Structure 1
Amino acid sequence: MPSEVILANAIHFLERFQPFSFLGEVDLRGLCQHLKVQYFEEGEMIFVEGMSPEKEFFIVQKGAVDLVQKTQSGEEVLVDVVGEGDIIGLRAFLAKGAYATSCRAKEDVLLYLCPFHIIADLLARHQQLALFVATHFAEKLIMRAEKLQEFTTWRGEINSDQLNPRAGYSDFQLINSKKTVITCLPETSIRDAASLMNQHQIGSLVVTDKAQKPVGVITDADFRRKVVGENLDVNQDIIANCMSAPAITISENPTISSLILAMGKHKIRHFVVTEDGSAQSKVTGIISERDIVVALGNNPLALIKEIQQATDVSTLKLTRDKVEKLLTNYLKQEISVGFVTSFITEVNDALIARAIDLAKNELADKGLATPSEDYCWLSLGSEGRKEQLLRTDLDNALLFFNPHEDESVASYFQELGKNVVDILVKCGFQKCPGEIMASNPRWCVSLKQWKTYFNEWILEPDPNALMHANIFFDFRAVQGEKALAEDLKSHVFALIKMAKSFLNFFAGNALQNPPPLSLFRNFVVEKKGEHLNEFDIKARAMMPISDGARILAYYDEIRAESTMERLDALARLEENQAGLFEELKMAYGMLVRLRALHGLRNNNSGRYIDIGNLNKLERQNLKHIFKTIGEFQTLIRVRFQTDLLR
């Protein structure tokens, strides 16, 4: 155990840095009692890539260390530099694997050594600590992989184990290689090689030595340029005289982005896949430019473009199905929730816009011309918050500018609303059970009528009615004259400013779902009905956060639309509560991912989860999240004095 002086110094040092600043005095002191101090000279190795971790991880107390990774050719790449207060070596323990990088003292450095079992106990008991560590390491992995990818790609060393799909490129897709590879030896005659290609109806051969290690590639283009163009003798000359060499080799399943970069660098059209990604191992596959072009049809930009150019509903449906497959890949690859929600929002917005165009065409075919009055399509609820990853219930509305109360204008837009909803349903979305859709005449009305609705909800708040109307406070303009939606939004903020008591009723609705743990720390599950003994992740975990973020956003006049954007804005605005809002933001991202994965796995909305199917870490994370929700609801209860409404 360290002396009291060393102990006091360690406590004073660690309490300045996250995540140790999340710990209480007792736990921080308990942690520091187990610390040891170790000195490393400049250039000295602290641990080496591939080694199994010992019993301790490290905290930089003074100085700085370099984290490096090796490429397949053995070159070292600097992927990170860490300094005072940073943690190193903990990821390997959490992942139960070897060190992914080597760690070397950049200068003379002092490190605190902390036993793994101490941090494991703290992670189990402190949700702030666990959420910070999970997010911190995910971000670090992305950044380090990105640096390694940049280095290796531009040297022709494209190893998919190193080029992790979480590297942050615009296209995270992996591409599979062709497993059936036709090869020939360098001494094969040009005629025999051409016959082999003709026999198998292929456009290329991999040229290998007798050990099946690649030495080059021969393609149709090589035959045209080198054989025909240079008058080679097809009977006498051999493939070695016209093949493209050396072969550019890669390992299995590289990212599309890495291949595109390498194609530009090497001016090639084929990649040879080998066992370890190098030319010193056996050939296992081949990837051609055509394979990349085909795969690019499933990247985000290509899919959005496909939606925008669709001429019929069946094409829209097929493209949206492709999006679901890409979504599954992104979630499995642990791409950031922020990127995934942004991507799906762009897709859904493009789909709605195209559905409106097709619906207008249908009405035009019936002789119904679009009125000159401006209109705006509104997404509501989770889609209004840019959070609808799965094709669940439709929540939408339509507003139009109709100052003269022209019935023909209202009639046209009501028909348009019905047609658009029908198209979206054919694309796989579900109708809203409560009929909160633009196909319902009640929610397809003029700007004047929308203002009347909000006047009633805000100036004369009825708790029961407001509970059902909550969804309308998350409206977002998708297509049409978006200034109409801005006009309505400004009207809502002005009303709330005038009728401050409304926020108390609004806050009361935000507290309808308390933290879902029983007195015995068990999950509160459904007690009857179709989902007996299942956990409602939407109502009991996600809504308490999204509802709370909404009420505070209106309270602080924040115009951000998504829950995570609202929490981010709140963290910047309220410094004394920034820690709580940051935790809630991380927690909400985890919940969005968990629900989407569960829904994709079970082909449903993902709302109801069998707790028995969650692993220990998922259950533990949820319990930590519930505690954070409890703190959040206490803040809302105190700020808006909701107990006085009872």
Structure 2
Amino acid sequence: MSYEDIRKWREQHIHEQIDHEQLNNFHDDLMLKTVQLAMEKVKEEQGEVPAPFAFFLMGSASRREQSIWSDQDHGIIFDGPKQHQTYFQKLGTEIVDGMELVGYERCEGKVMASESRWTKSVEGWKQQITNWLDEESWQSLRHFSTFFDSRVLLGEERLLADVKQVTFSYIQSHPKIINRLVDNVGFIRKGVGVFGQILPEQSGKRTGQINIKTTALFPFVNALRLLVLCNQVMKTPTIERFAALKTKYSFLTEYQILFESLLAFKFQFTKDAVEYEEVHYIPLKKLSKKDKQELKEYMKKGAELFERTKNTIEKECSKW
């Protein structure tokens, strides 16, 4: 099998996926086949994998929130000395090239296993996470949040769990950091105006379109990440985070139903997108009056959930 074969398989079958969950299972299969092929190629050139490792996804792929098109967000953890870095970065570079050929755009922010920042030994990762949290800059906390939304696609799950445990220990001994993490994702892009009108893009290529990712999805995603950090929960997909937390926070049940409905809404209106950038935007002219009402409800409730999360964290987590 070649990358070209995987790309053809993708093109033939991606439009057969009937809902959000099926689509994300299909992406997992595609990416797994691509990574396995990359490993074979690197093994032929560089020899056997020199240490136990985990290849992990980040971003929407990790949270199982991908649309029909997706870019790359991934990294590698290996359990061994720093001298193995070269091998694993070569593997990361091969994975990036392979995924691009299959149809996954390179990440503009270079959050990919080909970069030394995203491929490290277990000890290297632990040190980097501690440094990010110590630094407390906007950028370092953004890197941290990106990393924390990670899920192993192939390899040793224990390695990622081991690194994430450092996060929980750090937050317990530095409880004020949780407030900085809240501030880091606290800006919610307004999608509804004072008169209840939807606020689409006003200029450029996306004029008349609404960014569903920033105005509707992100408040839910960011709220649940903060709550799992506060409660030391390892789950990564937002749906699984809701399921793990709603026994403790009964108010989450209503928001979980809304979030699942939002994912179905996004799937319906982006499934015919012809390029990656398109999957984040919905032209308002595509929406009926009922659709617009629904979208406004998602935006309103997402912002409401984020506010409730902030209050919960203020009471429970920042005063340990």
Give the TM-score normalised by structure 2: 0.90
Q: Equivalent residue for 1:590?
A: 261
Confirm or deny that 1:602 pairs with 2:285: no
Contact residue 510 and residue 551 of structure 1 kept, 8 A: no
1:425 is matched with which residue: 97, 100, 105? 100
Q: How does 1:564-579 map to 2 (within 5 A)?
A: 564-575=239-250, 577=251
Q: Structure 2: where are the runs of 5+ without partners? A: 316-320
* Number of equivalences: 313
**Alignment partners' CA distance in 1, 2:300 and 2:286:** 21
RMSD: 2.1
Q: Equivalent residue for 1:326?
A: 16
For 1:572, what is the secondary structure of its paired residue? coil
Distance apart, 1:469 and its partner CA:
4.1
Q: Equivalent residue for 1:390?
A: 68
Aligned identity (percent) is 24
Distance apart, 1:374 and its partner CA:
0.9
Confirm or deny that 1:612 pairs with 2:285: yes
**Alignment partners' CA distance in 1, 2:302 and 2:33:** 39
Confirm or deny that 1:470 pairs with 2:148: no
What code does the residue aligned with 2:56 have? Answer: L
Distance apart, 1:477 and its partner CA:
0.9
What code does the residue aligned with 1:555 have? Answer: C
For 2:290, what is the secondary structure of its paired residue? helix
Contact residue 317 and residue 428 of structure 1 kept, 8 A: yes
For 2:80, what is the secondary structure of its paired residue? coil
Comparing both chains, which one has the higher relative contact order based on Cα–Cα distances under 8 Å and sequence gaps of 6 or more? 2
Q: Equivalent residue for 2:318?
A: none
Alpha-carbon displacement from aligned partner over 1:484-530 (angstroms, at most 9, x marks no partner): 11111222222222221111111122321155211111112223333
Q: Equivalent residue for 1:380?
A: 58
**Alignment partners' CA distance in 2, 1:589 and 1:520:** 27
**Alignment partners' CA distance in 1, 2:26 and 2:273:** 22
Distance apart, 1:640 and its partner CA:
4.0
Q: Equivalent residue for 1:632?
A: 305
Shift of the 364–460 alpha-carbon distance from structure 1 to 2, 3 Å rule, reads closer
Q: Structure 1: where are the runs of 5+ without partners? A: 1-310, 332-339
1:483 is matched with which residue: 148, 153, 158? 158
Q: Equivalent residue for 1:148?
A: none
What code does the residue aligned with 2:5 have? Answer: T
Shift of the 549–498 alpha-carbon distance from structure 1 to 2, 3 Å rule, reads same
**Alignment partners' CA distance in 2, 1:450 and 1:379:** 15
Confirm or deny that 1:355 pairs with 2:34: yes
Confirm or deny that 1:316 pairs with 2:14: no
* Rg larger for: 1
Distance apart, 1:424 and its partner CA:
1.1
Q: Equivalent residue for 1:623?
A: 296
What code does the residue aligned with 2:292 have? Answer: R
**Alignment partners' CA distance in 1, 2:151 and 2:64:** 9
**Alignment partners' CA distance in 1, 2:312 and 2:229:** 14
Contact residue 148 and residue 164 of structure 2 kept, 8 A: no
**Alignment partners' CA distance in 1, 2:6 and 2:182:** 40
Distance apart, 1:389 and its partner CA:
3.5
Distance apart, 1:345 and its partner CA:
3.7
Q: Equivalent residue for 1:543?
A: 218
Q: Which has a greater percent of strand?
A: 1
Q: How does 1:227-626 map to 2 (within 5 A)?
A: 311-327=1-17, 330-331=18-19, 340-341=20-21, 343-366=22-45, 368-403=46-81, 405-406=82-83, 409-575=84-250, 577=251, 581-605=252-276, 606-626=279-299
Give the TM-score normalised by structure 1: 0.46
Distance apart, 1:387 and its partner CA:
1.8
What code does the residue aligned with 1:619 have? Answer: K
**Alignment partners' CA distance in 1, 2:212 and 2:76:** 29
Distance apart, 1:571 and its partner CA:
1.7
**Alignment partners' CA distance in 2, 1:541 and 1:370:** 45
Shift of the 359–452 alpha-carbon distance from structure 1 to 2, 3 Å rule, reads same
Alpha-carbon displacement from aligned partner over 1:434-470 (angstroms, at most 9, x marks no partner): 1111122221121111111210222332234323542
What code does the residue aligned with 2:61 have? Answer: E
Alpha-carbon displacement from aligned partner over 1:13-52 (angstroms, at most 9, x marks no partner): xxxxxxxxxxxxxxxxxxxxxxxxxxxxxxxxxxxxxxxx
Distance apart, 1:323 and its partner CA:
3.2
Shift of the 514–572 alpha-carbon distance from structure 1 to 2, 3 Å rule, reads farther
What code does the residue aligned with 1:413 have? Answer: F
**Alignment partners' CA distance in 1, 2:236 and 2:181:** 17
What code does the residue aligned with 1:312 have? Answer: S
Alpha-carbon displacement from aligned partner over 1:386-416 (angstroms, at most 9, x marks no partner): 222423111101111223x21xx21111111
Contact residue 54 and residue 154 of structure 2 kept, 8 A: yes
For 2:245, what is the secondary structure of its paired residue? helix
Shift of the 637–481 alpha-carbon distance from structure 1 to 2, 3 Å rule, reads closer
**Alignment partners' CA distance in 2, 1:631 and 1:598:** 24
Distance apart, 1:380 and its partner CA:
0.2
